[in-house]
Amino acid sequence: MVPPPSPQSSLFDFIRTQALLHEEAHRIRELLFEQLLASAAPGASEQFPAGSQEEVLLGPLRRLQMLMLKHPIVVQAAFCALVAEGRRFAATPEGAAWKSALASSPLLQQGRRLWDALSLNIPEEDPATVLPSAYIEALFQAMGSAQLEELLRQLQDLPRQGEAHAAAR
């Protein structure tokens, strides 16, 4: 925290310093997520032929997954709102017909698998949930792990691994 302005400095200087610190913290956060994304699945795009539909889809899907991880509170709120709206619609005669028709849909099953992979099953259906408990549970499980030192080392090494991966491209 930056101390309040002294009589020699102006309030403008204090506000400008705060804004610069905020912007730098935001830039560092964005770089960290980019590095984590790059190191999360090195070489995964090599599994698909160049120019294939799957290879083209992989980039946007990874970005979507990273956005979901970066903004869990937003994802949680949107998820709860969609679940509630879906349940309200399913309670109507038209919604019940759609629910029955979609219940055995292979496309819907594939969509569910994709959602589970992208969201890592983190959002919860409880509308009172602000931050999904999966984040809190992961923290407590890590704190109690006999391999905590190794976990910390791996977490600290991720950006360096991402840099090595980026340099190899």
Question: What pLDDT sits at residue 106?
Answer: 92
Q: Print burial letters for 2-27: b (CB count within 10 Å at least 16), e (below 16).
A: eeeeeeeeeeeeeeeeeeeeeeeeee
Q: pLDDT for 44-71, tens place per residue?
A: 556 777 788 887 888 788 888 888 888 8
What band does 168 get if pLDDT is binned at 50, 70 and 90? Answer: very low
Q: What is the largest CA-CA distance in the chain?
A: 72
**154/157 Cα distance (integer angstroms):** 5
Instruction: Read off the amino acid at residue 117.
Output: A
pLDDT above 70 (res 76): yes
Question: What pLDDT sits at residue 162?
Answer: 46
Instruction: Read off the amino acid at residue 84.
Output: A
Question: What pLDDT sits at residue 6?
Answer: 61
Query: Of residues 2 and 34, which shows the higher confidence score?
Result: 34
Question: What pLDDT sits at residue 150?
Answer: 81
Nearest CA to 40 among 142, 144, 120, 130? 120
The answer to whether 44 and 29 have CB atoms below 8 angstroms apart is no
**122/76 Cα distance (integer angstroms):** 8
Q: pLDDT for 90-145, tens place per residue?
A: 999 999 999 999 998 999 999 888 888 888 788 888 878 777 777 777 777 777 88
Q: pLDDT for 141-151, tens place per residue?
A: 777 888 878 87
Question: What pLDDT sits at residue 46?
Answer: 63
Helix (H, G, I), strand (E, B) or coil at 162: helix
**99/91 Cα distance (integer angstroms):** 9
Question: What pLDDT sits at residue 84?
Answer: 93
